[in-house]
Structures are given as structure tokens and as C-alpha cells.
Homo-oligomer: A and B are copies of this chain.
Amino acid sequence: MDFKTLLQKEFIILDGAMGTMLQKKGMPLGAVPETMCLEHPEWLLDIHKQYITASSDIIYTNTFGANSYKTKNCGYTVEQLISAAVGLAKQAVTELGTDTLVGLDVGPIGQLLEPTGTLSFEDAYELFAQQVRAGVAAGADLVAIETMTDLYEMKAALLAVKENCTLPVVCTMTFEQTGRTFTGCAVSAMALTLEGLGADAIGINCSLGPKELAPLIEELRQWTTLPIIAKPNAGLPDPNSDSYDITPAEFANNMAQLAKLGVKILGGCCGTNPNYITELKQGLQGYTYNKPNVQIPAAVCSASKVVPINRVRIIGERINPTGKKLFKEALKNQDLDYILTQGLEQCQAGADILDVNVGLPEIDEQKMMVKVLKALQGVTDTPLQIDSSSPAVLTAALKVYNGKPIVNSVNGDDEVLDTVLPVVKKYGAAVVGLTLDKRGILKTAQERFEIAKKIVDRAISYGIRKEDVYIDCLTLTASAEQQAVMETLKAVRMVKENLGVKIVLGVSNISFGLPARELINQTFLTLAMGAGLDLPIINPNVTSMVAAIRAYSLLSCTDKNATEFVSLYGGIASPTPKTDPTQNQMEL
């Protein structure tokens, strides 16, 4: 039996709590739970066997905190702890003669990551990688990352799994009733990010009971095509007895409701025991897996903010040294404050996404990109677009980005596509495809459309969803290539209508070398939105640009009932709007 085969079952049953079981066995207060594997192996054997008997398809090893930070003073190495824990779980399975899978349990490190804490993303990654390598060596069947509240830490762990073994990996995070984790991660952001990074199943564990999980599961099923995991506590803790408030029967009943909402993989966390798992299994009799039939929308995110590309979204262009003396200076002087200010000003002015370009011949672009990305995601929840032509820079950036970013860009050149698209796929990013190739920029809309089609097809062949490919039909300057302006708009329309992908376009370039640039930019932006532009790359601090987008949102009915527009522009709607279109007069 392997995880993939197991997925063919109607439902997959996990085990229940480990910590409370160990306490009942007599684990001393203050002990490091993972040391029990070496000091009381019979306890672990018994607990695992109880869960196997209770019908768990997967049991988690007693390795939740088996990282070198939490266990540094316990007298055993991470390798010793994990080897013992995995060995006991496997022994239990062997002795009972079942095909239960052993999941290497990986919990939070117990230390906050930067920027809130001091642990770097890279160090977190190394701690997790050590656990993973040990688990693989000991023979775990899969990895189960759980109880995470920081998406960044989850990413470090998941990447450590993906880059250090080929085992399946299931990921669950812990949410509060607000629908956010302790660090503010949204269900949707978790889903977009973890599915993008290649998790095999995702879900929610601990903190809440099955009843409280229902709305979170409903949200989650809108944002993932993966099997969904629910591993809640036995209800909420009773404030008097400090024990959990629901019985195994109630738990089973509530879990069946979650199964109806689309959960495939079910188990218990704090307060549960083998009875809960037995009842859970029995409670699912007669239910069938309600596979969510969902089309995940085009969207990008930071850990706490998802930006669906379901209306015109502004990509701020200002973090870019091209033609900007002060910005170049800031890069050379490593003046992060200057760069962060450029970012924050754009966010306040209405940027939905920030483009980040730090390419300058004089500096180490890769180091600077990583530095700037980390700093930016420490001060803003606006999703970022990583803008570089260097695959090495893109890879380093994608590694440290916390969420689902955009890669800007690939083009129709085979070498570029076959170098960058696998990286985009690995890190679950969206990608901008420029409609040019080795031949340069092509004159006609038809030629650019053909490159767009090639890029989309190639991306799909690498397993990237079409929704994650954004096409840039290229803005040439009207002063140099006036005929090309309408050709670009034509290409936008062709690509949008025929390929059904999102459209990105740098706008400001259009007016280079002409007077009244704002007017030209605003007009071109509006025309491009009318042709299908979703993601204008603009300077959001130019109010006429943002104003045009607000007006377009109103006119295109994405700003329903003009609510946003009216709140921004402060008018009071006339009580009796004139509806006679044969009269076109403006009231005086």
C-alpha cells in the first residue's frame, strides 16, 4: 500500500491525539515527548496499535517536536529520536499485519521566523530537512506537516520535504475561529501556496472542534483541488475541567458533516483517542466522498492576502531602477528603506500587486532580490511579482517568497521556456509570458498571438494551470511605432478571447517621448482594459491612472452598484436617475 493507492479508498482515516495518550501512560510533566520512543517504546507500540485497531489508515509518528531546536537538551539526536519513532510505528503495523501507512509527523520548530522572530527561513528549512532525511532513512511512508500557524514556516517544511525526498506529503495548519491562523494566514492563501508547492493533501488540524471547522472547510474547498484533511480537536476545551467538550459519538457525527462538505482525509487532534477514531470510521458508513468540483480562479497571494484576478488589478511598477537615478543609488547603497517606501507608497495608492525589479549590473541581483523580497513581505501583505530575466535570481526569489507570487517573465524562446517554466511549476507561481522570442518583437497581432499560444501550451505541458499564465502583448512607444499601438490592443483582444488567459501589460511605455504623458497613459490604459487587460503595470501614485481603473470597475460592473466608486469619490446618488438615452445632456 502507498499513499496514492490509499487515495482510492472512499475516505482515509488518520489517527487521534498522541500527547494526551502519552500523558495517560504516565509521561512525566515537562518531559520531551519524543524521548518516550527510547525510554518507553512499549507505550508507543501500544498507542499505535490502538489506533491501527481503531481503523486508522495512517498513523503519525511521535516526532511532532523532533527538531534539533526543541530537542537539543534531551540527550538524543534528532536522528535517534526519529529512527526510534518511525521504527516503533512500523513495528506496530508489522505486528498487527495491516497495511497502515506511517506518516512522519513534523510540527512547528517552536521558534518564530523572521521578521517576527529571529529564525531565518533558510535555517528553518535546514531544521526541517534534517528531520525529513532522518524520517526517510527510518522508512516513513509519507510526511505529515501539521499544526503550523506560519505559512512561511510551513513553506520551509514543505520545501524541505520536496527537495529531500520523494515521499508524499500532507500539510495541515491550525486556524482560529476568525478564519485566520495565529500569524494571520488565510485559508485561501494556504491553499494557493501549498497546492502550488506540490503538497499531496492539505487541510486543517487542532485548535477547533469539527463543528467550528465547517466554515473553514467550506472556504478551503473553493481554493484547492487537492484532497482535504480535517483533523480537529474533540471540540473546544471546557473552561472548567480543561477537558474537551464533545463525545466520540458527537465527534463522529460532526466529522460526517465535514465529509459531506468535501473532506477526504479525517482524523482527530487534541482530546481525541482511539474511541473517537473508531466512532469516526463507523460514522462514515454510508457516506461517499463528495469530491469538490471546483475551478480555482486565477489568483496570487501573500500569506495573509489573496488577490483574485477577477477584476482589473494594479501591478505597481515603481520598484524598478530602469531610468531612475535615485533608485539606482539606493540599490548600490543597499538602502532598503528607500525601496520599501517605494513599495508602501504604491500600496497606499491602490496597488494590488507590486512588481519587484532590482536588476543593476553593478550589484549582486540575486542577493538583493532575496533581501528586498524578505523586507517587503515583512512590511506589506501585498502580493509580489518577481521581475528578473535571470533564472537563478527567479529561483532564489521563489524559494523565499511567502505565498504565491508572479514570475515576470518568460517569452516564446524555447530555452527560456524550458529553463524557467519548471521552476515556476516547482514553486507554484503564476508566470507572465511576453509575446516575443529570439526574433524580437513581432509586428502583427497574429504573430504575437501565436507566441502567446506557444507559451500557454508549453506551460500546460509543464503542469502549470492555464489560469496561472498571464500574457503580456507588449506596449511599444507610440512615438516610435505608432502603427503598433492598435496592433497591441488587437493582440490583447485575440489572446483574451481565444486563449482565455489573463492579460498583463506595461502601460507607461506607450507615451515615452511625447507630451501630456499622463493623458496618453490614461487613454491607453482605458482602451487596454476595454480590450481585456486584467493586470496593468502602472505607477499607482498617478491618480488619473487609478481613477480610470476605478471608473472602469464601475462601468464593467465589477464594482457592483458603484459602492466602491461612490465611497471613494464621495457623491450622493441622485434619487431619480434619468433613463432616457435618447437625451444625452449633462445636467447643468
Contacts and interface: CB of A to CB of B under 8 A. Distances in A.
Contact of A585 (B320, B326, B489): B320
Interface in A557-584: 557, 560-562, 565-566, 568-584
Interface in A178-228: none
A446 interface: no
Interface in A469-483: 474-483
A555 B516 CA distance: 13
A510 interface: yes
A579 B530 contact: no
Nearest to A483: B557
Which of A345, A409, A477, A527 has the largest count of B CB atoms less than 10 A from its CB? Answer: A527
A294 interface: no
B485 A557 contact: yes
A438 interface: no
B588 A324 contact: yes
Interface string A350-377: 1000000000000000000000000000
A516 B577 contact: no
B527 A477 contact: no
Nearest to A527: B530
A111 interface: no
A349 B586 contact: yes
Nearest to A547: B580
Contact of A345 (B348, B541, B562, B588): B588
Interface in A41-69: none
Contacts of A83: none
A518 interface: yes
Given A523-B552, A576-B519, A583-B543, A486 B570 contact: no
A513 B577 contact: yes
A542 to B, nearest CB: 8
A507 interface: yes
B574 A479 contact: yes
Contact of A551 (B349, B516, B543, B586): B516
A322 interface: yes
A537 B556 CA distance: 21
Contacts of A576: 516, 518-519, 522, 544
B577 A480 contact: yes
Contacts of A555: 478, 485-486, 510, 520, 523-524, 527
Given A519-B575, A527-B526, A527-B527, A582 B561 contact: no
Contacts of A24: none
B551 A515 contact: no
Interface string A498-527: 000000001111101111111111111011
B530 A481 contact: no
Contacts of A551: 516, 519-520, 522-524
Interface of A: 317, 320, 322-326, 345, 348-350, 409, 434, 436, 441, 474-483, 485-486, 489, 506-510, 512-524, 526-527, 529-531, 537, 539, 541, 543-544, 546-548, 550-552, 554-557, 560-562, 565-566, 568-588
23 contacts: A324-B585, A324-B587, A325-B588, A326-B588, A348-B588, A350-B586, A478-B554, A480-B577, A480-B579, A485-B555, A486-B556, A506-B583, A509-B580, A513-B573, A514-B566, A516-B574, A516-B575, A518-B576, A523-B552, A526-B530, A527-B555, A541-B586, A544-B580
